[in-house]
Structures are given as C-alpha cells and as structure tokens.
Structure 1
Amino acid sequence: MINSYEEAIHWISSRLRFGIKPGLDRMNWVMNKLGNPERNLKVVHVGGTNGKGSTVTYIRSILNEAGKQVGTFTSPYIEEFNERISVNGKPIADDEIVHLVTVIKPLAEELEMTNLGSLTEFEIITCMAIYYFGEVNPVDFTIFEVGLGGRLDSTNILSPILTVITNIGWDHMNILGNTISEIATEKAGIMKEGIPLITAAAQEDALKVFYEKARQLNVTIFEKNKDFIVSKESVLPEGEQFSFTHGALQYNDLAISMLGVHQIENASLAVMAAVCLSVSEEHIRNGLKKGFWPGRMEVLHKNPLVLVDGAHNPEGVRAMRKAVQLHYASYKKKIVFAALRDKDLTDMFKELKQLDGNYYFTEFDYERASSAEQLLEKSGFQNATAAEDYKSLLKELLKDLKEEEMLVISGSLYFISEVKHYMKKILF
C-alpha cells in the first residue's frame, strides 16, 4: 500500500534493479489491463540521439502559445522527478504521482506472476504518463520523448500524429548497434504507417534507412536542408537567431533564448512540426522565444559566471564546446566534468580538450558513474585534476573565480541534476 509521495518514489526507484529490457510485450499487457488509454492521446513522438528534450520543449511552448493544453513525457529529470510528466511545462503534483503509482503498482505485481516478467523503472513511468494523459487529465496534445532507441522503446506502443527524429549519433552502441545504419534502424522504429516524419539526420546511411522505411510505410519525410531550410543564422546577446523556409513559406529572424547553434536545429524541427500542425507564425515566434529547457547551456549565475550543460555523448560535448567558444570566447575557463563509464569517453575528451581551460574531473553517487581518477587517466589531460567530492570542488572553485573567468559544469545529465540542487544552496 502506497500512502505517501516518498513511498511512491521509493517504489518507482526500486525498479531500477531490473535494468533496461527492450520490448513492447509488457507495455501492451499493462495498457490492455488499463483499457488502452494510449488510444485517447494525440501524440507527437520525438526520438533521436541529441536534442530530444529541447525539441520537445520548443514544440510544447509553441502549442501553448496557440492556446493548447500540452502534456509532455521526458527523461531524465533535472530538478525534480515530477517534471518527467508535465502539463504546459509544469510538473504534476505529488499527490498525482501517488495516485498513478497506486494504479500501476498492482498491475506490475500481477505482471510479475506471468512469463513476461517485471516492468522496468522506465516502463513504470511510461505507463504512468500514458494513463495520466489518457484518463486522469486529458490534454489537447501530448509529446513523448523516446527513452532509448525507438523500435523496442516502451513509448513505441503509441500511435502518433507526427514523428520527429532529431539526429543520429554514436550513443548506447552496446544496445543500438555499431554502425550509423544499425542505430538509424532502431531510431526509425518509431515511424508509423502514413504518419509524417520530420528529421535533421544528416548522414547518408541514416537517411537511406529512413527513406526505405518511409517507402514501406507510405510516410512523407520532411528533411532539414531539403524540405525545410535554415539560413541567416546569427548570435544574439542571450540566444540565437535564424530564418526558416519551407516551400513558399518563409519566417525571417526567428529568435530563441537557449544558447548554442545546435539549438537552432532543434528549434527548426519544432517549427516544421508546428507548420504540420497548422500553427500560426505569431504563435511560432512567441513560443520559440519562450522555450527553455533546464540543464542545457543554462546560465546558473552571471557574476560569477556559472554555466551547466548536460553534454553526455560526443555530439553533446561538441555542441557545448562550440556554444561556449562562440558566446564566451573572452573568458578563461574552469571546466568540471563527470560522466558515466559506459559512454564513448575517448571522443568526448577529444572535444572537451578543445575548450582550452583548466579541467577538473569528478564523480557522483550513481551506479554507472565513472570515478574521478578513471576519467583523469582516460583523458590523458596534463592540465587536469581529479576530485572525488564534487561539492567541495565546486565550493573551492567558486570562491576563487575571478571576473574574467567562468565555471563550466558539464557531463552526465544525472550529474547536472545533482549539481543544480547543490548550486542553488551555495549560489542563492
């Protein structure tokens, strides 16, 4: 019996022991028991390697400006667990989490008695989100972010009205495959019969997979740099600006508040999605400007300058590095980095090294986290320090941070989540 929010979160977290178990049979079983609430949803399904969360928030913000109620399902969380299931950008309440767990927990226990086995943590939360938006609090649109891959991800029981695949990169290769084609095949698994796909994937091997799948499923593809064009990119004091063209349609000087040229790509996907959903130019402009996603090139403090970014794979570190170099070229940099040991650290270090600063490798309390010493050894950096206690490290760095210096905290999103909680205590 679940009586409190703390008990609900503890039960959900206890499912982490079941790890990652790709497949849809368990999800279909639960949905059937719940009366198939997924059929009540109007879904935009967002997959890809990087930029999923930002793309989700841009689409949500645009639809909100159009007066629509929008539910989102994202992962992982940055500030609080509840944000994984949000309405109009606001995390659902603690008592709603408790209610959802009381509904899903008996089904999870019943399922465990079958040959299908146990629901994972991610499957539990996916079930909670679908039931919440399908039965408890219906909304005009829902936007679901894929957890891992696509084809066998628990969100793939959904039947979307629009599919977005942001890009294809090297991540989770132990599960998704060792080539771009293999990874793209897993990501393309969210494509559905007759449902349009919007993508910024650039590799020829990935696009070949998408177009072959599209031919089989009668899918129209809107490809960046082919079917919609981004041009006139420029840097604003606190954001970016670009123009968007799709056929005869042209929107000039669209502004976003999130930092980094890579955010232009995410925003352009959202604009194309909005066009497909018949949203007006005014709502697109206003929605883009208001779009914000925590932990992505986020300035926590301006004086001293402290920036956090969840750069958790090579493409993410490259995007972070370019954005910092572009917006903060004059600053001397102190870079704190923590990562999971199952990531492609070699290529991440190649990108990180180009930032040209003083490096501090650290660690945090997470079972897959690499130790500070392991990061230091693998990096081969000469101007680097390993510090086990990130809290003491950050406190010391902040104390000595000069006006011409900035503190960049990057790496795993799980690390950024912990850091944000701590930094709030010592900065504000």
Structure 2
Amino acid sequence: MFTKYEEALNWIHATRTFGEKPGLKRMEWMLGKLGHPEKKFKSIHIAGTNGKGSTLAFLRNMLEANGQIVGTFTSPYIEMFNERVSVNGEPLSDDEILRLANTVYPLTEELKKIDLGGPSEFEIITMMMLIYFGEGHADVVLIEVGIGGLYDSTNVINPVVSVITTIGMDHMNLLGETLSEIALNKAGIIKTAIPVVTGKIGKEALEVIEQKAADQDSLIMKYNKDFFVTKWQTLPTWGEQFVFEDDFMRLSPIQIEMLGRHQVENAAVAIEALRVYSHETGLAVNHEKIRSGLKNTFWPGRMEKINDQPLLILDGAHNEHAIKTLVETIKKNFAQQEVSIIMAAMRDKDIQGMADQLQSIPNCRLILTSFNYPRAAGIDDLNKLMLKNGTVIEHWQEALVESLNEMDENGVVIVTGSLYFVSEVRAYIKVANKK
C-alpha cells in the first residue's frame, strides 16, 4: 500500500500500457469484487477517432449550466494526471488519488496470481474512476473511451446515451486496417436499447454503426440526417456561430469560442446527446443555459490561442484524420497569412502522410521536431522522411523561438501533433509567461 501520492502515481505509470490479454474480464472481475460501482451512477459514453474531448467539454458545460454536478473521465491529461478524473472541471485531489490507488492495488495483486494476469495502466485508472463515481460524487459522468470501444476498459458501463463522434484511420494495429473494422470496434460501445448519437461519419463506417445499432435495437440519431447545423459562419473575433436544429428544438444563434468547422460538428453532437439524455432521464434543460454553456466551453490544446501578435495556436492533431481537419481550418481562416507549423508525433503514426497534408498548404512552412517521450518519433525517424518544403529541427524549443522571431505581427505559428507534445509546449509557455 502507498503512503504518498507520488508513490501511487509511480506505481500506476510503471504498469504496462496494455493488459496481457485483450478483453474486459479483468475489469469485470475487479468490479465484481467491489460490488459493481459502475452500476451506481448515470453516464454518457463517448467514443470516436477524434472529437471525443471537445464533445465531452461541450456536454459538460451545458449540463453544468443546467445545474448538474458533472463527473468526467478524459485522456490524455494536459497539465496534471489528476485531471483525468474531475468533477465540474476540478481534478481530484492528491489525497483522493492516493485513496483510490490503495483501493485498487490489492485487487491488481490478486489478479496477477490468477490466469487473467495483471491489469494495464488504463484499467487501473478506469477502476479508480468507477469506484469514485460509484460513491455518488456526481449527477452524471461523461466517460471518454481510451482506444476503440469494444475491448476498452470503459466498456463495462451501461450508459444513458452512447456517442460516436468520428471514424478515421488510427491505432490500426489494435482496431483494424479498414474504416469498417475500426467502426465495428468503436460501435462496440452500443448497448441493447441504449440510444446512440453519431457525428460526421463517412458512408462505409456509418453503415457498420447503423447495423450494430439495429442488431442492438438501439435508436440512432445521425448528424446531417436527424440533427443539422445551418447558417454556419466564423466570427471575426475568434470562434464560430451557427444554428442547431432537430425534430424537437431549434437553437439560434449559437456561438462557440473554439475555432473550426469540426468544433461546430462536435458541438452539434453534444447538443443532440444532451437532448437525448434529458429525454431519457427527465432532466429539464433550458435553451438559454444550453447556449451559455456552449459559449463558455474551453478545451486546452484544441485550436487554443496562446498569443495574438504573432498568433500562436496549440492544436493536438495527433493523426491523419485530425491533420486533415487542421489543414481545412488553416486554409479557411489563415489563407492570407504566413503560417509556420511545428509538429512532433508518435513514431507509430503515419508521419509522412501527416507531413504531406501540411505541406499541401501554399502559405505554410513545416518544421518537424521531437520531444522527451518514450513513444515519440526521434530525429533519426524524421530525417528519413521526404520533405518538400519542410525542415527538421532537433529541439522544439529552438523551433518555437525561431518561428516566433521570424514572424511579423500578422503571422501564425501552430504547434501540433501529439497531445503529449502540445501539453509539454503549453507547460513551457505558461512558465515562460510567468517570468
């Protein structure tokens, strides 16, 4: 057992990334030992290749604005480990993390002695979250899937609503080589007779999800089929404005302070998920409070503006699907400005494909770099890539200073790639700004 927070955290991080055998048997075994805390609270389950975190943030703020105490489970963290489990945006205290780790630890030791094998790091953190919210600390808990859906350790819950935001090519070694296979894995969160809300998803993947919903007798609400966005425009200051509509309500105008068409789509998915949740639970929601919740939503590291002149933006576009969205946003909003992009990514991503997309932007200079993380692509990896109008700079701090110094006040510097990288840059800038 642990006496200090740091000891508990070191134990959690020292555990394997993935369990010895895929599946939910370890989770079910541990939950059974604890009287099934996962059955003691209401939840919304959110899967998808990209957009999970932003959709969750929009939902949290709308629910909070309507008087709910909202628990959240997110990954990865941006500033501190504790924020992975939060209540109304407040991360758990160190003492709570220590207490929960000490509750889970004996179970993990027992597991090692039976044929199920020891749990993964994510299973431990998920267990801590389920135990905490099973104690009654929130009215509703928004739970973000780690990877995939079907075998993800969060898939032991029985939510009020399931949400699938987007489907793209990512984690193919775990989820499958085609969009259909990836969609089938993510559709694994759909439970019998539990409604599901889907975001902007292509035909091939959507057909798989629709079939799964039909098999499970689940009502499915689809973006651009059952709920819509109209009159979308980018605001001259920062953010987007649009009208939301489904068969039950029309919200006009909605303003969000997160930039990009994809954030409009994430917000629409969140509104529809809230509408379904309120219908299922009888929660009364106020349209004005929905609007204010959306306007107040902020999600760090997602098109986050850090500086104005030059414009410095952090955006954790960590796979090809997200980079495509980033490219669209740059072409729409910054076509007349000089743009410098600094990217660091994990070595298991298609960095060449990501770099090719970024180099397709006419007014853009690309810098590839690395950062201090075990899975990060190193300089040797980056030097093997084909770069048309890009360079490799070993130290990202040097790349950042160089880019900012070269820009005039109308220029744009975007830091992108792995969310772990964006988190590291964000922490560095915050410290620098305090000096």
TM-score (norm 1): 0.96
Cα deviations by residue, 1:89-137 (Å, 9 ceiling, x for unpaired): 11111111111111111111111111111111111110011111112x5
Q: Look up the equivalent residue of 1:282 and give its one-letter code.
A: E
- 1:193-342 to structure 2, matched below 5 A, reads 193-236=192-235, 237-278=237-278, 279-342=285-348
Secondary structure of 1:277's aligned partner? helix
Name the CA distance, whole Å, in 2 between partners of 1:393 and 1:344. Answer: 22
Secondary structure of 1:116's aligned partner? coil
Q: Look up the equivalent residue of 1:361 and give its one-letter code.
A: L
Residue 8 of structure 2 corresponds to 8
Q: Which segments of structure 1 move beyond 4 Å, counting only runs of 4 or more? A: 17-21
Cα deviations by residue, 1:191-216 (Å, 9 ceiling, x for unpaired): 00111000014322222212221222
CA contact (8 A) 1:234 1:241 kept: yes
Residue 357 of structure 1 corresponds to 364
Secondary structure of 2:16's aligned partner? helix
Residue 143 (1) aligns with residue 149 (2): no
Closer, same or farther: CA 88–150 of 1 in aligned 2, 3 Å: same
Cα deviations by residue, 1:65-87 (Å, 9 ceiling, x for unpaired): 00000000010011111111011
Secondary structure of 1:35's aligned partner? coil
Cα deviations by residue, 1:338-391 (Å, 9 ceiling, x for unpaired): 01111122331232112332221111122221113422432x223322222222
Name the CA distance, whole Å, in 1 between partners of 2:387 and 2:159. Answer: 46
Closer, same or farther: CA 272–336 of 1 in aligned 2, 3 Å: same
Residue 404 of structure 1 corresponds to 410
- 1:80-159 to structure 2, matched below 5 A, reads 80-135=80-135, 137-159=136-158
Closer, same or farther: CA 257–21 of 1 in aligned 2, 3 Å: farther
Cα deviations by residue, 1:36-85 (Å, 9 ceiling, x for unpaired): 10010101000011100000011010000000000000100111111110
Residue 396 of structure 2 corresponds to 390
- 1:31-70 to structure 2, matched below 5 A, reads 31-70=31-70
Q: Look up the equivalent residue of 1:80 and give its one-letter code.
A: M
Candidates 399, 417, 432, aligned match of 1:426 = 432
Residue 400 of structure 1: how far off its partner (Å):
4.2
Residue 16 of structure 1: how far off its partner (Å):
3.5
Residue 374 (1) aligns with residue 381 (2): yes
Secondary structure of 1:156's aligned partner? coil
Residue 281 of structure 2 corresponds to none
Q: Look up the equivalent residue of 2:277 and give its one-letter code.
A: L
CA contact (8 A) 2:56 2:144 kept: yes
CA contact (8 A) 2:20 2:117 kept: no
CA contact (8 A) 2:19 2:118 kept: no
Name the CA distance, whole Å, in 2 between partners of 1:338 and 1:16. Answer: 24
Cα deviations by residue, 1:174-227 (Å, 9 ceiling, x for unpaired): 111111111111011000011100001432222221222122211000011111
Residue 169 of structure 2 corresponds to 170
Residue 183 of structure 1 corresponds to 182
Count matched residues. 426
Gaps of 5+ in 1: none
